[in-house]
Amino acid sequence: MEWKYLTIEREGFALQVAKNNTDGPPLFWIGSALYYPRVIPSEMANQYQITVVDQRGFAKRTKTLKETKDDYSLEKLLEDFRLIQTELKIPACPIIGHSGHGYMALAYASQYPENVTSLMMVSTGPSHGSPMSEAEVYFEREASDIRKAAHLQNQMQFQKNIERTPEDFFIHYCVSLEAKGFHHIPFPSRKFWEGIHTNKLAFDYLFGEVFRDIDVSDYFKKLSVPTWICMGKEDFQVAPYYTWDPILKEFPQIKMTVMEKSSHLPFLERPREFLSKFQNALLDS
């Protein structure tokens, strides 16, 4: 699949945008314009006109001013996405956020419902706070000895990697979770991160503070668009699928799919099944 790239500068950030050349229904995907085109399956890219947009954590800075947490506020990110959607004349359409980007998609759909027809949160737990402790419990209970040994080995390599290039902490961290985030191990996930820039403060703040303390119920109460959550049953990287149960009891209109033989990237590992579930969710909406 061929992807075309462009850059939109906003407030000192060079936000990259990737678009495929499929003439299909539009789809707005939040995250990294370099990473996600590498993991979005052809089955999906061949059917939908997908626009993948950077969030500021992946954008190179074009100004030398000292960065602050305010540069990476959720509100500023949502304004970025709205600006991009407006400038590129992307009509109201489904929005997808994967992992921590699911919270960004949730907040965007809540704040700008006129731009969104449905919300898809993939491999996103209820928060990066207390539910994450259950991820360790789930891993210890369900993971094989081979997977546990691989994870331990990855953690030792992680320490060496951050000593060598601390500026790539987030990338090293994600790669160190391969044994928790992929159904088949070992998996060479570093190839997906080649050439990607990260702003450490953005991830420290958003993933370490904002998404630790986020209350998804507050956003769900404001949502006016159909919502689908998709979780891999063997995803040990975020809070496991069943930590959603107490919240979804309050919001029965929100649908959730738990995919078997799948981990943190269900669209990559089981593309046909994911596409089928995705399309069924759109039909239900």
Tens of pLDDT, residue by residue over 198-243, are 999 999 999 999 999 999 999 999 999 999 999 999 999 999 999 9
* Per-residue pLDDT at 178 exceeds 90: yes
Mean pLDDT of 159-182: 95
Number of domains in the chain: 1
How confident is residue 64, by pLDDT bands cut at 50, 70 and 90? Answer: confident
Distance CA 42, CA 131 (A): 33
* Per-residue pLDDT at 66 exceeds 90: no
In 3D space, the residue among 167, 225, 232 whose CA is nearest the CA of residue 199 turns out to be 167
In a domain, 57, yes or no: yes
In a domain, 192, yes or no: no
In a domain, 279, yes or no: yes
Write phi, then psi, for 116 (nearest 5 degrees).
-130, 135
pTM assigned to the model: 0.96
Residue 218 class from Cβ within 10 Å (0-12 exposed, 13-18 middle, 19+ buried)? exposed
Mean pLDDT of 7-27: 95
3-state SS, residue 98: strand
pLDDT at 244 (0 to 100): 98
Residue 173 class from Cβ within 10 Å (0-12 exposed, 13-18 middle, 19+ buried)? middle
pLDDT at 129 (0 to 100): 93
16, HSE (Cβ side, Cα atoms, 13 Å): 20
Q: Where are the alpha helices (DSSP H) in 3-63?
A: 35-39, 42-45
In 3D space, the residue among 265, 243, 229, 213 whose CA is nearest the CA of residue 133 turns out to be 243
pLDDT at 191 (0 to 100): 96
Partners of residue 232 on adjacent β-strands: 259
In a domain, 153, yes or no: no
State which residues form the domain around 105: 3-132+198-284
Distance CA 161, CA 176 (A): 10
In a domain, 25, yes or no: yes
CATH number of residue 221's parent domain: 3.40.50.1820
In a domain, 180, yes or no: no
Mean pLDDT of 92-105: 98
pLDDT at 285 (0 to 100): 63
pLDDT at 42 (0 to 100): 94
* Per-residue pLDDT at 272 exceeds 80: yes
Tens of pLDDT, residue by residue over 123-169, are 999 999 999 999 999 999 999 999 999 999 999 999 999 999 999 99
